[in-house]
Amino acid sequence: MEKLSLAEPFRIADLGCSCGPNTILATQNIVEAVELKFQTRGLTSPEFHVFFNDQVSNDFNSLFASLPAGRKYYAAGVPGSFHDRLFPTASLHFVFSSCALDWLSNVPKGVVDKAGPAWNKGRIHYTGAPKEVFEAYSDQFAKDMDSFLKERVKELAPGGLMALVIPAVPDVASHSQFMIGLEVELLGSCLMDMAKMGIVCEAKVDAFNLPLYFTNPIDLQQIIEGNGCFSIERMEILNNPKQHIVLPNLRQRMHSTRATSEMLIEKHFGTEIIDQLFEIYARKLSESSLFLNPDNYQQMIAVFLLLKNNVH
């Protein structure tokens, strides 16, 4: 901080910001924390420039309309994938990303290859699939994370920090025991039901997979250390064993799954099936132990990482 020119703004980027209130609250907390750090060192606080990043399809208009009046930062939108380069060299001082890195850059190629061992026929995710499917997802996540780190180290100033919150599963747990994965598996079964009814083509279901992967802390640490671009300043497990209580209502649960997956399903199958698909999903969920007995299933954890730029 001592090296930061008084004429230079402190630049913050939120990667995978979406358009809800979480990114605004996180930005406010980061700005206030940096201000306090400057003040406790007897330094004048700089101006703040915040970059909100997400895919080009993100509703940036809603995001900017909800920015608070009197905020202490200048705001800009940066559309594009955070798996690619987004910012000039050494231009950022702090990068933040929360619950976004579980989304892969692409569906693993092997899971849609009919001739390959990882073909994921009749499913839309690795939950409940053969180990070859899971390994294809795991390999894709490792490649994506390595690419993400290599791009960020170019964009962060020397000594710059990056804070990440990444949804994950515990190291010792089976992926088949987790509610989120099982809810995705249930959604896939609804698409197969629609294929049997002749509403969608079964081959189209076989060609659709959600690019969503939940890592575990050990694998994540190994990827970061193997990449070598960042040192791990802090790594903590954030565990909320009662997450399902937040959405006790059936319609809320259905709408949560719909909000997560609708855009990708619509892009692949079209808009016509969406309402019927999620009505079938709501009915099947209401009869499932996922809804009736949620305590029987393990909940996700989140991994908090504070990383420091190692490249000078």
Instruction: Let me know how long the chain is.
Output: 312
Please tell me the pTM assigned to this model.
0.92
For residue 173, the model assigns a pLDDT of 60
pLDDT at 241: 47
Contact partners, residue 19, CB within 8 Å, separation at least 6 = 54, 58, 59, 60, 62, 63, 66
pLDDT score, position 247: 53
DSSP conformation class of 215: B
User: How far apart are alpha carbons 219 and 233 in whole angstroms?
Assistant: 17
pLDDT of residue 179: 81
d(C-alpha 136, C-alpha 113), whole Å: 11
Predicted pLDDT at 297? 76
Q: What is the pLDDT of residue 180?
A: 86
Q: How far is Cα 257 from Cα 290, in angstroms, rounded to an integer?
A: 13
pLDDT for residue 291: 81
- pLDDT-flagged residues of the chain (< 70): 1-7, 172-176, 239-248, 312
What pLDDT sits at residue 292? 79
CA distance linking residue 26 with residue 275, whole number of Å: 33
pLDDT for residue 3 = 57
Residue 157 belongs to what H/E stretch?
strand 156-168
Integer CA distances (angstroms), 130 to 10, 118, 176, 178, in order: 47, 8, 11, 16
Contact criterion met (CB below 8 Å) for 161 and 308? yes
